[in-house]
Chains A and B, each alone.
Chain A
Amino acid sequence: MGNVTLPDIRLSDFTLQTLPRLAALRTRNLQAGAEVCIERARLITRYLRDLADADEPMELRYARAVGYYLANKTPLFPDDNLLAGTTTAKYFGAPVYPELTGLTIWPELDTMSSREKNPQRLSRQDADILNFEVFPYWLDRNILETTRARHGNPACMKLFERIVFFLASKAGTISHTVPCYRLALEQGTEAIIAEARRQEALCATATDEESRQKQTFYQAVQLALAGVNHYAANLSQEATRLANETADPGRRRFFEELAAISAQVPARPARTFREAVNALWLLQVAIHAESINMAISPGRLDQLLYPYYRRDIDRGTLTVEEALDLLGCLWLKLNDNTNLVPETAEELFGGAGTVPAVTLGGIDADGEDAVNDLTYLMLRVTELLKTRDPSLNARYHYDKNSETYRQRVAEVIATTKAVPAFYNDLVAIRTLENQGIATEDARDYAIIGCVELAAAGRSYDASSSIMLNLVSALELALYNGKRPVTGDEQIGPRTGDATAFRSFEEFWHAFTSQLGWLIGQAVELNEMMGKSHQERLPTPLLSALFEGPMEKGRDLIFGGARYNSSGATHIGFADTVDSLNAIEQGVFLDRKCTMAQLMQTLQHDFAGAEALHAYLVNRTPKYGTDAPIARKNARNLTAFLFDTYQAHVNYRGGRYRPAYWTMTNHAGQGRLSGALPNGRKANRVFASGITPVSQAATDLAACLNAVAELDALHLPGGVAFNLKYNAIANAEDLRTFGQAIEAYFRQGGLHIQCNIMSYETLLDAKAHPEKYPDLLVRVSGYSAYFKSLNEAMKEEIITRTAYSLTTGQSEPFPAAAQNMLPFRG
């Protein structure tokens, strides 16, 4: 049994009225405009350019630069938050990582403050520093350019830069992982530094290359962690100064407490729940000195923090209310930064937070119920705050976790309309075991970023390495290696004139040939960039907070983790499957048209072919229904991708894992793709994640079954299944809602996330954004404020099939908005 002692797991006595600190912080957080913060970029650049010893190995130089930045980072207490430490020097800051894709804002320095969509403020002075001091240094030193120079502008890189085939995320990130904070909380970073020093001394006597490398690694760990402690000490000093400055006894005590806490953690062991929460937050801040602020996921916080919580509660030194206040402060701190987004990337990634995923519930390493009081506290805090981050994920093991827990999670989804996402423990654990993860480690899985599965703190997965557009492979097969959007240029291999294909098998062969070729290109580039990371972006700080590197004496990016993998996610899954179905049924079974007629129709975006278009939309098999052809093609595509990726081993010795989550890329990539055989018109959005095409799967039970029956072993990177219900109106709906999720899990479903909102609400929110300042929606993995999404993405969310929990059928789509549907317009 789990550790649940709360008299009321819903904690309904605690509200934003009884937690005024959280109410005030939340209001300020929601209203804060984003500002570009150049502090990190400026200090890292200054160190590497002016202060570093060019003769030292890069690992040490970079560790020193990270340490230098942390030691000189502004200690800031911008509000009444109970936790010390800020990600940036701004209230709501977008830090710049010039070694990655920071340079993409170079052409926009003058305009990004004032652009219409999600502006990010940048002062004239800071723009000048970026323009004259920072960016010139990185012009030929960033990952993209160093990779290009080393490999002579390889074909795979040119392909990536066309944007419409695949994205190579390594140009932009070292991130997407779940660190292990346990040791640092229990023993303190000083103990880890001491251990690194001891290990370094052990290596010092040997002279072989491997020992020398280990020695360097252990040195780097000490340098980087010293920076963290330095930052905490500065915070403590600043808090003391502020305490002495104020005459208000309450403010004085507030700062004195912060001074005492940051004097203790993270250098030394956390002794209280509050110290543990603050230590965790400071480590989270510190990691962002080294890794970009994208999907660095704290993991199973209800498990990690529980011993501290239990001890303080039992000792009587902590109340539930105080714990809620602290957790709320942590949730809001996780919202204190955002991504630096150039206008050109708004289309692909608009509205995303930084997606630090928190994972709750499930089972423990022994396979027993792990739900505890903190699980419920975290659910309550999420329900009250309804903030974009952290991305909250609830694990559910239907044999071990209680129905009470399941229904409480369901209730939080009903209240927030969007979070948390639900994971099927039984299936997720089996999927990880199938990737070679030991059972006890698989049971301790947590979610990275959107939906990716990780053996938390043990598996280094770079889960967002590749984002590949499946529709591009389909179009390459249709047009013999070309795509409408790239014109007459021969991009892929010549797989044959599609008008001459005599069977669906021939088309399938052409499609998988293009897809296999594309995967090869994406993997080749990822490997090149991985090597660039190894040369230029070591991660000693993150490595010190992980299981494996400290034992092996090897940085994570050299394969130091206990487990390794690379993730490749896919855009346009449902549209691709439905297009395959349409070709198989329409051309080769029903013979409604020839391949030539179909392609001509596509090139004219169905103009003058209304009957054929109606046939393709209404009469061809759709993924998300019982149609056998659709089920077969979905199964075959996931199996093909699994086999193809697993055959590739990455530069860290791990295998590639296919995944199906799309952020907002399905909207962006859709806008760059031609008309498709499933009836989707040119330049319209694709369906998200692994979700069926909007309005194509009208029967809820059939839809849940169709997604659930995809073999989860073939989906090791994770999936985002978005399901929209028009309403959860009463207790009966809530029960049915929970039962439907359970049934989906019992059929083998891996993940599900829901939006609870009607077409009418979303249409109103699009027309009157001012009425919905904090309307939270699930995009494809992460949550976003609806108002911050671009128009295409808003339309995609509006058109998603909304099911009724009373009829089990899709609700009729409003006639007035028909033109938003991807197959109309």
Chain B
Amino acid sequence: MQPLIFDIRRFALDDGPGIRTTVFFKGCPLACLWCHNPEAIRPETDLFFQRDRCVGCGECAKACPDAAICLDGPARVNRQRCTLCGACADACPATALKMVGRYYPPAELVRLLLRDLPFFSVSGGGVTFSGGEPTLHSDYLQEILAALRSHGIHTALQTCGHFDLEPFRSRLLPLLDLIFFDLKLADPGRHRRFTGQDNTRIRDNFRRLAAEAGSRLVPRVPLVPEITATEENLQQIAALLNESGFDSCDLLPYHPGGLSKRQAMGEIPSPLVPDAMIGQGEERQWRHFMQQRLAC
């Protein structure tokens, strides 16, 4: 299946050094309950409905061949009937209905990324691949990375760590300047429960890459209150980091941006997931906690 991209964010400052463009792939082997980008989980196209953009013209209902539009309900789309054909989004004049996920032929994507080359070069920035899980599309990714490298562009990857190591090492690793590697939950049971996957492979991959990639590998830990941000979990992650020789990691404070996206896709968010940003005090406390355990 063709890799779909659900967003290309330009002038991104939080995904690596300098001014960057971040490419978000669809499809992820994990399905974290708190996911910031739930539209990235399924590899297929999704239909988004943003109620605040709707002008109530009813063009979507006229366009839908499957009578899946319900103008009265808050959800707008009857997801049981919807075949994701995209006719309603095509007809929507206000972009309230939007198809999420598009295939970019490699040449087109590279051309688009190259448009911001001056931003990269004046700031020491580059391109970051995120998602979703970019390594699911390693042929495609390899082609894009090679093209960017030929223009001297700095490349970075954000990964959940759940991938086949050998092809990654031989094909992608040589083309990457920076790998942001997520360590979410140390306990295998909790990992399965909250992300839908076992974490053995992630931990193995992390240990192996730590030995090989050196400073190109940057561990990241999401701080989700009550889920990942617990003393026990962070203690165990710190231990894993210590044994791999890391004395620091990126901490990603939780924000509830994923909730409204799930609603836009007609999903019901898990009640376990917090609906507010992590408090500044709590964030500070965990930063201190991690610093103390990594600084030894």
Contacts and interface: CB of A to CB of B under 8 A. Distances in A.
Interface of A: 610-615, 618-619, 626, 699-702, 705, 736, 739-740, 742-744, 746-747, 805-809
Contacts of A699: 10-11
B122 interface: yes
A809 B11 contact: yes
Given A701-B115, A746-B122, 10 more contacts: A611-B57, A611-B93, A618-B95, A702-B10, A705-B116, A743-B119, A746-B118, A807-B12, A808-B11, A808-B19
Nearest to B124: A739
B93 A614 contact: yes
Contacts of A612: 93
Nearest to A705: B115
8 contacts: A611-B59, A612-B93, A615-B93, A701-B11, A740-B19, A746-B122, A747-B118, A808-B9
Interface residues of B, number: 24
Nearest to B116: A701
A611 B58 CA distance: 9
B200 interface: no
Given A736-B123, A746-B118, A808-B10, A611 B55 contact: yes
Contacts of B116: 701, 705, 743
Contacts of B272: none
A613 B93 CA distance: 8
Contacts of B121: 743, 746
A743 B11 CA distance: 11
B112 A743 contact: no
B107 interface: no
B120 to A, nearest CB: 8
Contact of A743 (B13, B19, B56, B57): B19
A744 B121 CA distance: 12
B252 interface: no
Contact of A610 (B13, B55, B118): B55
B11 A619 contact: no
User: Which are the 10 A-B pairs with shortest beta-carbon distances?
Assistant: A808-B11, A615-B93, A611-B57, A614-B93, A701-B10, A746-B118, A743-B118, A743-B119, A614-B94, A739-B123
B15 to A, nearest CB: 11
Contacts of A805: 13
Contacts of A613: 93
Interface string B17-32: 0110100000000000
Nearest to B115: A705
A739 B122 contact: yes
Nearest to B95: A618
Nearest to A700: B11
B176 to A, nearest CB: 23
A626 B112 contact: yes
Nearest to A742: B122
A155 B79 CA distance: 65
Contact of A808 (B12, B55, B93, B94): B12
Interface of B: 9-14, 18-19, 21, 55-57, 59, 93-95, 112, 115-116, 118-119, 121-123
Contacts of B56: 610
A623 to B, nearest CB: 16
A792 B9 CA distance: 34
A206 to B, nearest CB: 59
Contacts of A614: 55, 57, 93-94
A743 B115 contact: no
B57 A701 contact: no
A802 to B, nearest CB: 14
A699 B7 CA distance: 12
A746 B120 CA distance: 11
Nearest to A615: B93
A700 B10 contact: yes
Contacts of A618: 93-95
A449 B112 CA distance: 37
B253 to A, nearest CB: 14
Contacts of B10: 699-702, 808
B53 to A, nearest CB: 8
A328 B55 CA distance: 54
B201 to A, nearest CB: 34
A747 B10 CA distance: 16
A728 B274 CA distance: 31
A615 B55 CA distance: 10
A736 B19 contact: yes
Most chain-A Cβ atoms within 10 A of its Cβ — which of B11, B19, B93?
A: B11
Contacts of A744: 118
Given A618-B95, A619-B95, A809-B11, A701 B59 contact: no
Contacts of A610: 55-57
A739 B19 CA distance: 9
Nearest to B119: A743
Contacts of B95: 618-619
Most chain-B Cβ atoms within 10 A of its Cβ — which of A615, A699, A805, A806?
A: A615
A816 B17 CA distance: 37
Contacts of A743: 19, 116, 118-119, 121-123
Contacts of B18: 739
A241 B81 CA distance: 96
B123 to A, nearest CB: 4
Nearest to B19: A739
A314 B209 CA distance: 62
A705 B18 CA distance: 18
A742 B56 CA distance: 44
A739 B9 CA distance: 18
Contacts of A615: 93-94
A711 B180 CA distance: 40
B113 to A, nearest CB: 11
A742 B13 CA distance: 16
Nearest to B112: A626
B55 A807 contact: no
A115 B55 CA distance: 43
B122 A808 contact: no
A395 B12 CA distance: 28
A739 B119 contact: yes
A788 B247 CA distance: 57
B59 to A, nearest CB: 6
Nearest to B8: A699
A696 to B, nearest CB: 13
Contacts of B115: 626, 701-702, 705
Contacts of A626: 112, 115
A701 B119 contact: yes
A611 B91 CA distance: 10
Most chain-A Cβ atoms within 10 A of its Cβ — which of B94, B95, B121?
A: B94
Most chain-A Cβ atoms within 10 A of its Cβ — which of B13, B18, B59, B112?
A: B13
Nearest to A611: B57
A736 B93 contact: no
Nearest to A699: B10
A807 B7 CA distance: 14
Contacts of B123: 736, 739, 743
Nearest to A616: B93
Given A619-B93, A626-B112, A743-B19, A736 B13 contact: yes
A133 B291 CA distance: 84
Nearest to B55: A614
A419 B114 CA distance: 31
A744 B112 CA distance: 16
B114 to A, nearest CB: 11
A513 to B, nearest CB: 31
Contact of A807 (B11, B118, B122): B11
A740 B119 contact: yes
B99 to A, nearest CB: 14
Nearest to B53: A618
Nearest to B93: A615
B246 to A, nearest CB: 25
Contacts of B14: 806
A553 B111 CA distance: 57
Contacts of A700: 10-11
Nearest to A806: B13
Contacts of B55: 610-611, 614
